[in-house]
Amino acid sequence: MQDDAFPSPLQSALLTSASPSIAHGFFTREGGVSEGVYEGLNVGLGSKDDRAHVEENRSRIAAWFGQPVAKLATVHQIHSPDVVTVGHDYDGTRSEADALVTMAPGIVLGVLSADCGPILFADPQARVVGAAHAGWKGALTGVLENTISAMIKLGATRGNIVACLGPSIGPGNYEVGPEFVERFLAHDSTYTSFFTPSERSGHAMFDLPGLTVARLVAAGVKAEKLGLCTYEDEARFFSYRRTTHRGEPDYGRQISAISIREA
């Protein structure tokens, strides 16, 4: 990876076709200045990476949108269903939450991930956007639905909202124990479709992307997924689970972001 490379994010066909007034990107780890296990575009303020490197990487994200880093709004993610609304008066505060919504042009909403699902939302007619971080806990407890509700409060219409799930851990690499499966089936017995037996007795492979998209569709919005697994593609993505399996001391985070273009 080259230090001077500029970030080149992945795009959603659904979001791209929605409106030229909405800019978005699912950024990979490519195009940043971090080194070692954080090599590339690590934007995790909670990581042990050199703070100056993280700040430079965040500045590059904002610059891709044509904005100063002060316009890049992120939250202190805690695997919750909580959503914050961001306006023109955004002052850099990182509230404890896992999703953001705005109707303010120029504000860049970003969520960080390293296996969990980053979801970007837009109602191009109402010019309202959102971004959510959904691991299994957030997806199960309502962060997706709460993001949609928060957008509606800003003037969005449910039927006009489009959403895309970016790179996240795929079902071939997400093994869980029996208590995990029981928790989901206690919530909804039909969720058995998101689990397949693994090679270990009593364990299963979990389809987090499938669950995420299913809940988005059930909430009444148009949704798609990029279908890219963070665990298996080390060249492009950071992965918490891959780091854990290797016994590495820390890991980087990639960012997915969306903004309403200024007139």
Residue-wise pLDDT tens digits, 27-62: 999 999 999 999 999 999 999 999 999 999 999 999
Give Cα 74 distance to the centre of its chain.
11
Neighbours of 14 (CB within 10 A): 16
Per the domain annotation, does 26 fall within a domain? yes
What pLDDT does 1 receive?
40
How many structural domains comprise the chain? 1
Per the domain annotation, does 75 fall within a domain? yes
Using a cut of 0.95, tell me whether the model's pTM lies above it.
Answer: yes
Nearest to 254 by CA among 85, 105, 49: 49
Per the domain annotation, does 246 fall within a domain? yes
Task: Please give the backbone phi and psi of residue 131, each rounded to the nearest 5 degrees, phi first.
Answer: -145, 135
Neighbours of 181 (CB within 10 A): 18
Q: Which range of residues forms the domain containing residue 137?
A: 13-170+222-260
Residue 252 is part of a domain; what is its CATH number?
3.60.140.10
Per the domain annotation, does 189 fall within a domain? no
pLDDT of 2 over the 90 cut = no
Per the domain annotation, does 215 fall within a domain? no
Per the domain annotation, does 208 fall within a domain? no
pLDDT of 4 over the 90 cut = no
Per the domain annotation, does 8 fall within a domain? no
Per the domain annotation, does 144 fall within a domain? yes
**How many Å apart are CA 81 and CA 133, to the nearest integer?**
9
